[in-house]
C-alpha cells in the first residue's frame, strides 16, 4: 500500500491535500475556485519575495559598492605608468593649502577623437605602483615675510616630480601652482611677492611648461567649482543615464527656463574643509527666485554657470552650481577661535574673582570639550593655559554654537551667507578633508554619515568610554558644525565622508586612490584643462568657461554668462 502524508495549514478545513508518491497529487474536497485562489496566493507570495530581493539588491551596500568600483575602475589604473610610451602626456598640479603643499602628477594618452568623451586622465604611478604624490609642511604662507624663499620652498616638490616624468617630456608637461586659503589670508602685496618669485625662478631651473598665469591664488569660488567638478567626474555623474537605478534629477537648464526640463544624472554636492576655510558646492537644478534685489545681487556672486559639453550650444551638460566659501571656518581656524574664547573668558573671570584657574596643572580649566580627565594646554599671548576634560557633550555644543554665526529661521545659514533651497529628498553630499579626518580618526566612523550614530559616538567619546583617547572633542565638533548648513546634524540629505573605510568592501589601494582624487578634485580638473600643451592662459574664473572636448583635448571658450 503506497505511503501517504498530509499537509495541514491555516486554511479552511475543506482545503485538505493528500499526496501520494505513487502518482500525482490528489486534491480532495477542492473546487476549481479554491485551486485558482491557492495558485493566486502562491503567485503573490512569489512576487513579494522577488520584489524584496530586487529592492534589497538595488539599494544594498553591495549594489552601491559595485557602482562605486565601476566608476573607480573607469578613472584609475593600478598598474605602474609605462613611461616608455611616447603617446603619454603628463601634467602637474601643486596644491598650496594652508597646512602644507602637495604635488600631483597625472598622465593621459591621446584623445580618442570622440567629441563625447573626456580625456582618460589618471594619476601617475611609480614602479611600485604608488601614486606620484608628495606633500611638504608647513603651508607656503609661512614664508610671507621672506617671499624670496618661495622657489626654494617649492623645489622639493618639483625635484620629486622631475624624477618621475621622462626627461624628454619635461618641455611639454604643464605645471600649475594653485594657492588656496593659505595665501588668501595674506595681503595682496604678500601674495604677489610669493607668486613673482615662483614665476621668476622656476623657469630658470626647470624645463616644464610654466607661464605666469600658471601660478595664482584661486578664489574660493574657483576652489569650490574645481572640487565639485572633480568629484562628479570621478563618480561618473557627467555621463549619460545608463541604468534604471541611476539617480536622476529634473533640471531647468540655465538660460532656458521657458523650455521643458531635462532629465539627467543627479550630481553630488561637496563639503570640503581645510585648515582655514570651508567650501560647499551643489547643483541648483531649478530656477531660483529671490526675496529682494539685494539677495539677487548676493546670489550672483555665489552661483556659477558653465558648460562641460562638447558644443557650446548643447545644453545637456550646462550646470548651475552654488558655491560658497567660509573663510575662517576651516578646522584649524575654528579651533583657534574656540581656544581664544575660553582663554579670554577664563582670564576675565580670574581677574574679577581673584582666581588662578588654568594657570597651573594643579588648577586646570575644566574643558567640557575634552574627553573625561584628558589633560591639554593652549598657548595664548605668550602664556600657557592648562586644561582638563570633563566630557560634557551638551555644554561643549552650546559653547561652540555661537562660533558658527548661524542665521535665518532654521539656523542653517552660516555667517549670514545666502544659500538657495536644497532638495533634501533627492540630494547626496560628499564631505572631504577635515570632515573625514574627524569622523574617521576621532570616532572611527568614516564613510556614510548618520547624524544619530555620530551624536551617540560623540557623547561616548566625550565621556571617555571609547577605547582610544584622541585629544579633543571641540576640534571635531567645530569641524562638523558646518554640517548645520544642510541640517545634517538633525537629519537631511545623505552625506558620505570622503570615502568608504577599509573595513568595507573596497580594497585599501582603491580607497587611497579615491582620497587623492577627491581631496584635491580641483587639481584633477586643472590637469584636465592643462591637457593642451599650446595653451598659455586661462580665464580667472572657471565659472566663465565653456569646456569643449576636441581632438587635442579639452579646450575652452569664454562663456557669455557671468
Q: Which residues are catalytic?
A: 223
Q: Report the SS3 class of residue 400.
A: helix
Cβ(4)–Cβ(19) under 8 Å? yes
| Pick from 517, 538, 536: nearest CA to 102 | 517
Cβ(92)–Cβ(103) under 8 Å? yes
SS3 track for 102-126: EEEEEEECCCCCCCCCCCCCEECEC
Binding residues for ATP: 275-279
Q: How far, in Å, are 149, 279, 337, 353, 437 from residue 330 at the CA level? A: 26, 9, 11, 35, 13
Binding residues: 275-279
Cβ(271)–Cβ(414) under 8 Å? no
Q: Cis peptide before 400, with omega less than 30 degrees from 0?
A: no
Q: How far, in Å, are 182, 497, 514, 533 from residue 518 at the CA level? A: 19, 11, 6, 25
The secondary structure of 12-76 as a DSSP string is: -TT-EEEE-TTSS-EEES--HHHHHHHHHHHHHHHHHHHHHHHHHHHHSHHHHHHHHHHHHHHH-
Beta pairing partners, 334: none
| Pick from 530, 545, 559, 522: nearest CA to 232 | 522
**Alpha-carbon distance 253 to 237, whole Å?**
16
Q: How far, in Å, are 89, 153, 175, 203, 217 from residue 200 at the CA level? A: 25, 14, 14, 7, 16
Amino acid at each position: 500500500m503506497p505511503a501517504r502524508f498530509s499537509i495541514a495549514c491555516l486554511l479552511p478545513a475543506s482545503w485538505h491535500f493528500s499526496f501520494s508518491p505513487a502518482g500525482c497529487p490528489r486534491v480532495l474536497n477542492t473546487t476549481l475556485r479554491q485551486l485558482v485562489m491557492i495558485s493566486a496566493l502562491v503567485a503573490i507570495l512569489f512576487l513579494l519575495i522577488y520584489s524584496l530581493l530586487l529592492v534589497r539588491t538595488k539599494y544594498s551596500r553591495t549594489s552601491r559598492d559595485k557602482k562605486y568600483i565601476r566608476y573607480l575602475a573607469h578613472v584609475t589604473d593600478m598598474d605602474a605608468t609605462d613611461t616608455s610610451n611616447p603617446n603619454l602626456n603628463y601634467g602637474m598640479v601643486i596644491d598650496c593649502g594652508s597646512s602644507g603643499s602637495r604635488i600631483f602628477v597625472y598622465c593621459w594618452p591621446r584623445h580618442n577623437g570622440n567629441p563625447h568623451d573626456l580625456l582618460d586622465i589618471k594619476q601617475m604611478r611609480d614602479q611600485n605602483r604608488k601614486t606620484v604624490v608628495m606633500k611638504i609642511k608647513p603651508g607656503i604662507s609661512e614664508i610671507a615675510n621672506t617671499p624670496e624663499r618661495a622657489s626654494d620652498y617649492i623645489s622639493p616638490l618639483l625635484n620629486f616630480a622631475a624624477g618621475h616624468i621622462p626627461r624628454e617630456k619635461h618641455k611639454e608637461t604643464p605645471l600649475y601652482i594653485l594657492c588656496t586659503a593659505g595665501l588668501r589670508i595674506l595681503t595682496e602685496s604678500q601674495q604677489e611677492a610669493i607668486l613673482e618669485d615662483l614665476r621668476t625662478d622656476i623657469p630658470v631651473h626647470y624645463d616644464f611648461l610654466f607661464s605666469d598665469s600658471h601660478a595664482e591664488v584661486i578664489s574660493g569660488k574657483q576652489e569650490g567649482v574645481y572640487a565639485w567638478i572633480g568629484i562628479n567626474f570621478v563618480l561618473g555623474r557627467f555621463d549619460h543615464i545608463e541604468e534604471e537605478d541611476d539617480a536622476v534629477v529634473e533640471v531647468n537648464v540655465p538660460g532656458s527656463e521657458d523650455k521643458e526640463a531635462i532629465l539627467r544624472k543627479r550630481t553630488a554636492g561637496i563639503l570640503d574643509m581645510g585648515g582655514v576655510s570651508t567650501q560647499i558646492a551643489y547643483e541648483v537644478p531649478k530656477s531660483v527666485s529671490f526675496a529682494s534685489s539685494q539677495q539677487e545681487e548676493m546670489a550672483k556672486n555665489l552661483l556659477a554657470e558653465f558648460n562641460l559639453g562638447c558644443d557650446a550650444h548643447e545644453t545637456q551638460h550646462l550646470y548651475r552650481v552654488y558655491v560658497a566659501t567660509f573663510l575662517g571656518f576651516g578646522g584649524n581656524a575654528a579651533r583657534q577661535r574656540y581656544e581664544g574664547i575660553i582663554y579670554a573668558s577664563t582670564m576675565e573671570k580670574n581677574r574679577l574673582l581673584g582666581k588662578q584657574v588654568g594657570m597651573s596643572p594643579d588648577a586646570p580649566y575644566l574643558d567640557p570639550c575634552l574627553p573625561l580627565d584628558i589633560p591639554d594646554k593652549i598657548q595664548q599671548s605668550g602664556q600657557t593655559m592648562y586644561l582638563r576634560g570633563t566630557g560634557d557633550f551638551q555644554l561643549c555644543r552650546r559653547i561652540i554654537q555661537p562660533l558658527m554665526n548661524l542665521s535665518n529661521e532654521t539656523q542653517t545659514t552660516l555667517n549670514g551667507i545666502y544659500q538657495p533651497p536644497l532638495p533634501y529628498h533627492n540630494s547626496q553630499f560628499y564631505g572631504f578633508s577635515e570632515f573625514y579626518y574627524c569622523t574617521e580618526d576621532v570616532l572611527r566612523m568614516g564613510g556614510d554619515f548618520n547624524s544619530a550614530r555620530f551624536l551617540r559616538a560623540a557623547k561616548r567619546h566625550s565621556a571617555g568610554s571609547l577605547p582610544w583617547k584622541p585629544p579633543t572633542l571641540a576640534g571635531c565638533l567645530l569641524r562638523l558644525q558646518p554640517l548645520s548648513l544642510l541640517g545634517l546634524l538633525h537629519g537631511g540629505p545623505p552625506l558620505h565622508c570622503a570615502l568608504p573605510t577599509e573595513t568595507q568592501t573596497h580594497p585599501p589601494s582603491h580607497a587611497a586612490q579615491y582620497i587623492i582624487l577627491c581631496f584635491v578634485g580641483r587639481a584633477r580638473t586643472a590637469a584636465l584643462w592643462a591637457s593642451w600643451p599650446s595653451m598659455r592662459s586661462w580665464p580667472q574664473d572657471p565659472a566663465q568657461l565653456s569646456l569643449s572636448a576636441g581632438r587635442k583635448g579639452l579646450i575652452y571658450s569664454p562663456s557669455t554668462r557671468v
